[in-house]
Each structure stands twice: as structure tokens, then as C-alpha cells.
Amino acid sequence: NIELFINPDDEIKNEVLKGSSIYLAVNTHGESFGITILEAINAGCTAVCSDISAFKDLLGDSGVYFKNNNLEDLKQTVEQLDTDDIQTIYNKQKTHIEKYNVDKVMPSWISLYTQI
């Protein structure tokens, strides 16, 4: 099933993400980072993303990408995933995004600010 939520509050967003297995990031324009992808993966979703550079930079080889603005490629990409693939990819993505964990990032930021 596919449900569309426009500007959900945090409670609804978290509930929906926890009940989903795939998160589609279909951004068609530039994205500065991809925080929604991190939120989705942390909630247990496998991220399937448009192939914009911000998402590729974020997920690297752990990402599943479809051609930006190409609905047919999006459809084929999702249809090719089976349950085992989804779990394997999720595990890889979850491991990959650990480098963005605040406990790992904060010391670098503090060091940077103290050098300024």
C-alpha cells in the first residue's frame, strides 16, 4: 500500500515510518543533505532514492537509486526488491549512516569551532 502524507506532524511521521519497510526519497531538485533519509533509516526503513548528488553523497554504495524524474525507473527499482534484498540493504544503510551519529560528529564540530 502507498499512502501520501503532506506535512505530517512528528508523531504521525514517526508512526508511519515505523510501520513502513521502504522510504521513497523522490526529490527532483537539489537537496542540501537528506535528513529525512536518515530519519527513515533510523526508523527501520530501507531508503530508495532519486539519484541526485546529495543522496549519493549521503548513502554512497549503500544506496538504492533510481533515475531522477523517471517514474518507470522508480517502478522497476522498487519491483526488483524482494524481502531479503530490503533487509540486506537496510542493514548496509544502517551501518553506513552511523558516521552521522551525533556522538561521532559532535567532537569534530567542537574541534573545528575551537580552532576558529
Q: What is the CATH number of the domain that holds 60?
A: 3.40.50.2000
- Given this model, what pLDDT does residue 85 score? 92
- Does residue 58 belong to any structural domain of this protein? yes
- Residue 75 confidence (pLDDT) above 90: yes
What domain range is 22 assigned to? 10-115
User: Please, which pLDDT band fits residue 67 given cuts at 50, 70 and 90?
Assistant: very high
- Residue 27 confidence (pLDDT) above 90: no
The three-class DSSP label of residue 109 is helix
pLDDT average, residue stretch 47-69: 95
In the block, which residue shows the cell 540486506? 88
- Does residue 40 belong to any structural domain of this protein? yes
- Does residue 91 belong to any structural domain of this protein? yes
Q: What's the sign of the alpha-carbon dihedral 48, 54, 58, 63?
A: positive
> Percentage of the chain surpassing pLDDT 90?
68
Give how far the C-alpha of residue 111 lies from the chain's centroid of Cα atoms, to the nearest Å: 28
User: Please, which pLDDT band fits residue 46 given cuts at 50, 70 and 90?
Assistant: very high
User: Please, which pLDDT band fits residue 109 given cuts at 50, 70 and 90?
Assistant: confident
- Does residue 45 belong to any structural domain of this protein? yes
- Does residue 2 belong to any structural domain of this protein? no
Mean pLDDT check: name the lowest of 21-25, 42-46, 51-55, 111-115. Answer: 111-115
Distance in angstroms (rounded) separating the CA atoms of residues 104 and 116: 20
User: Considering its fold, how many domains does the chain have in total?
Assistant: 1
Distance in angstroms (rounded) separating the CA atoms of residues 104 and 26: 28
Residue 66 · residue 42 · CB < 8 Å: no
Distance in angstroms (rounded) separating the CA atoms of residues 24 and 78: 9
Q: 37: closest CA among 73, 54, 82, 68?
A: 54
- Given this model, what pLDDT does residue 98 score? 93
Q: 73: closest CA among 47, 46, 40, 50?
A: 50
